[in-house]
Chain A
């Protein structure tokens, strides 16, 4: 165990899996010599060469299809999309191809494809480089979605994603790349569909993922100072979604707040909140609440951006309001 950044943890998982299995390879725009827009793949070219650390043209739609085609013949491609906003160009290949093939072709094929892509705002990149689109993809049957909130999970979930025989959308977060945390040195796998309870508490449950789990932890310590004991659950994967852990917690605390960085409509909060509500509504002190980005494009200006993105401070406000409500 030693402290490394989230970005380095991802690189370590890639390198270890590429050493372990010759079928694993990376592809994406500017990932080789340049190391990717966020330098996540830096140095891999030296060890694995240009065939397995493959630069592609700027063709998000087709590189996603190419990775899918290669996966169907037994390769295990790890495709980097430079920004998650570009998933829009790849959507057809994910939705109508990679995620469907196994089912519609009568289980004749596996598609062991991993798509890595950073989401999230906070850097002033503006409307086409700051979104969090992963919740769109929760409605794609046949696709798994992992979104680590720590360095250890970045390594563990990515290793699991690469070894999974299904297409996995692996959501990284731009603001977390430089975050440091303890990470096991050797092989490290974190199973999908098992949320992590990051902090225990009795008054309310905060469920989040990716950077919002980190913000929720900050909020929980502020709340603790005010005598409010918040339990923080990091969902880790959106598909499969660990509803049981959230249900068990909210049943005990009686309050559920769901925090996400993407836009609010039809988001994680809508889905998870309702799933919890329909199971344990009679245990809840107040309706589940959602904290998310309002339905507007993400602006460049730092103040405007901060006005719409959820943060620890806003989580604290929301939690207080819930405590007052009942």
Chain B
């Protein structure tokens, strides 16, 4: 898990760097600071469970088992990317590992995840679907409509809300009159809990409870993970809407730092094993970047390919 968190962190840092260099065009939403959530979630789910993501999905995808090389290649818009250069940062899927796609429409993936859970229930395959969403997305109608449907049909879905306190520039506290997103679960008869999203073990435990509920036919769970995005929303963001003090407070609560301290206090991690994990993760990221840079540009002739099955 620790290595996965490092991988996500280094990957996003690298992605932002190449983006600033101009090698990656369009947009690029990184999840720096939020790594504990996908890593914790997928550490307890089964490989054949599913996930539907948001516009900030690189980390979700990597934690689900997608190939960092192909994710990076997609950021570069190259032929070997998961969408062959058609999707970019916020439209990637890897069905082989059950990652059903990131999504450029805020809240758009929530009914998709709910429908995937309906399919799982109808097929009686015992699988669970994770529906990632942001605090901002919880103000979309799709969130409310989907939670209601999942509740009446007892669908095997976990709504994983990453509340990083902001939706672009909008503070959660100004965009909702309730204190926690989790309060909204009650409106639909869905059990909900607030979890420290920067504590990977807490993420893991809450997910395990929700997955057990889902698999035993008891239906959906809403988990609100409190977290913080260390980087800007996207490239142009200079973050005038939050204070440097607030950022500093959250930096101390860095999920990677905290997990490292925890592992060290348990005697599982020391300087040399940490250095090894870091260099392993770094190597994977460097390799992904090299792969992406060497991947050919897609052929413009092929642009309409695959529109219809």
Determine whether B101 belongs to the interface, using a CB cutoff of 8 Å to chain A. yes
Residues 56-79 of A contacting B (Cβ, < 8 Å): 56-57, 59, 61-75, 77
Q: Which residues of B contact A73 (CB under 8 A)?
A: 50, 116, 119-120, 123
Q: How far is the CB of B293 from chain A (nearest CB, A)?
A: 19
Bound CA span A61–B52, Å: 17
Q: How far is the CB of A100 from chain B (nearest CB, A)?
A: 8
Q: Which residues of B contact A106 (CB under 8 A)?
A: 81-84, 86-87, 93, 306
Q: Which residues of A contact B118 (CB under 8 A)?
A: 66, 69-70, 75
Report whether A110 and B84 are in contact in the complex, using a CB–CB cutoff of 8 Å. no
Report whether A57 and B92 are in contact in the complex, using a CB–CB cutoff of 8 Å. no
Q: Which residues of A contact B82 (CB under 8 A)?
A: 105-106, 108
Determine whether B105 belongs to the interface, using a CB cutoff of 8 Å to chain A. yes
Bound CA span A75–B123, Å: 9
Bound CA span A107–B105, Å: 20
Report whether B105 and A92 are in contact in the complex, using a CB–CB cutoff of 8 Å. yes
Residues 97-132 of B contacting A (Cβ, < 8 Å): 100-101, 103-105, 108, 110-120, 122-123
Determine whether B186 belongs to the interface, using a CB cutoff of 8 Å to chain A. no
Report whether B115 and A102 are in contact in the complex, using a CB–CB cutoff of 8 Å. no
Residues 82-104 of A contacting B (Cβ, < 8 Å): 92-93, 96-97, 101-104
Bound CA span A106–B94, Å: 9
Determine whether B252 belongs to the interface, using a CB cutoff of 8 Å to chain A. no
Q: How far is the CB of A143 from chain B (nearest CB, A)?
A: 9
Residues 34-76 of A contacting B (Cβ, < 8 Å): 51, 56-57, 59, 61-75
Q: How far is the CB of B130 from chain A (nearest CB, A)?
A: 13
Determine whether A109 belongs to the interface, using a CB cutoff of 8 Å to chain B. yes
Report whether B108 and A96 are in contact in the complex, using a CB–CB cutoff of 8 Å. yes
Report whether B119 and A74 are in contact in the complex, using a CB–CB cutoff of 8 Å. yes
The answer, among A64, A65, A110, for a CB contact under 8 Å with B309, is: A110
Q: Given A72-B115, A72-B116, A103-B307, do A65 and B110 touch, yes or no (CB 8 Å)?
A: yes
Bound CA span A71–B152, Å: 20
Q: How far is the CB of B16 from chain A (nearest CB, A)?
A: 23
Report whether A68 and B111 are in contact in the complex, using a CB–CB cutoff of 8 Å. yes
- How many residues on chain B are close to A (CB under 8 Å)? 44
Bound CA span A260–B66, Å: 48
Q: Given A57-B148, A103-B307, do A65 and B112 touch, yes or no (CB 8 Å)?
A: yes
Bound CA span A13–B146, Å: 29
Report whether B83 and A105 are in contact in the complex, using a CB–CB cutoff of 8 Å. yes
Closest chain B residue, CB of each to CB of A55: B152
Q: Which residues of B contact A67 (CB under 8 A)?
A: 115
Bound CA span A77–B115, Å: 10
Contact with A along B257-292 (1 / 0, CB 8 A): 000000000000000000000000000000000000
Closest chain B residue, CB of each to CB of A71: B115
Report whether B94 and A108 are in contact in the complex, using a CB–CB cutoff of 8 Å. yes
Determine whether B305 belongs to the interface, using a CB cutoff of 8 Å to chain A. yes
* Residue among A73, A101, A108 with most chain B CB within 10 A: A73
Q: Given A62-B114, A102-B307, A105-B82, do A72 and B100 touch, yes or no (CB 8 Å)?
A: yes
Report whether B105 and A66 are in contact in the complex, using a CB–CB cutoff of 8 Å. no
Report whether A142 and B122 are in contact in the complex, using a CB–CB cutoff of 8 Å. no
Contact with B along A173-190 (1 / 0, CB 8 A): 000000000000000000
Q: Which residues of A contact B148 (CB under 8 A)?
A: 57, 59
Bound CA span A96–B84, Å: 18
Q: Which residues of A contact B47 (CB under 8 A)?
A: none
Bound CA span A69–B152, Å: 17
Report whether A75 and B119 are in contact in the complex, using a CB–CB cutoff of 8 Å. yes
Bound CA span A109–B309, Å: 9
Determine whether B231 belongs to the interface, using a CB cutoff of 8 Å to chain A. no
Bound CA span A28–B307, Å: 27
Report whether A69 and B111 are in contact in the complex, using a CB–CB cutoff of 8 Å. yes
Q: How far is the CB of A30 from chain B (nearest CB, A)?
A: 15
Bound CA span A85–B103, Å: 26
Determine whether A25 belongs to the interface, using a CB cutoff of 8 Å to chain B. yes
Q: How far is the CB of B90 from chain A (nearest CB, A)?
A: 10
Closest chain A residue, CB of each to CB of B143: A62
Q: Given A73-B120, A103-B86, do A66 and B111 touch, yes or no (CB 8 Å)?
A: yes
Report whether B145 and A70 are in contact in the complex, using a CB–CB cutoff of 8 Å. no
Bound CA span A66–B119, Å: 9
Closest chain B residue, CB of each to CB of A89: B141
Bound CA span A63–B50, Å: 19
Bound CA span A108–B119, Å: 18
Closest chain A residue, CB of each to CB of B129: A69
Q: How far is the CB of B87 from chain A (nearest CB, A)?
A: 5
Closest chain A residue, CB of each to CB of B120: A73
Bound CA span A97–B268, Å: 45
Q: Which residues of A contact B114 (CB under 8 A)?
A: 62, 65-66, 69
User: What are the 8 tightest A-B residue pairs by CB atom distance, in nearest-first order?
Assistant: A69-B115, A65-B111, A62-B145, A59-B145, A66-B115, A165-B309, A73-B119, A107-B306
Interface residues of B (CB under 8 A from A): 50, 52, 81-84, 86-87, 91-95, 100-101, 103-105, 108, 110-120, 122-123, 141-142, 145-146, 148-149, 152, 305-309
- 15 A–B contacts from the bound complex (CB under 8 Å): A51-B122, A61-B141, A62-B149, A63-B145, A65-B114, A66-B114, A69-B116, A77-B115, A97-B112, A102-B306, A104-B87, A105-B83, A109-B93, A112-B309, A165-B309
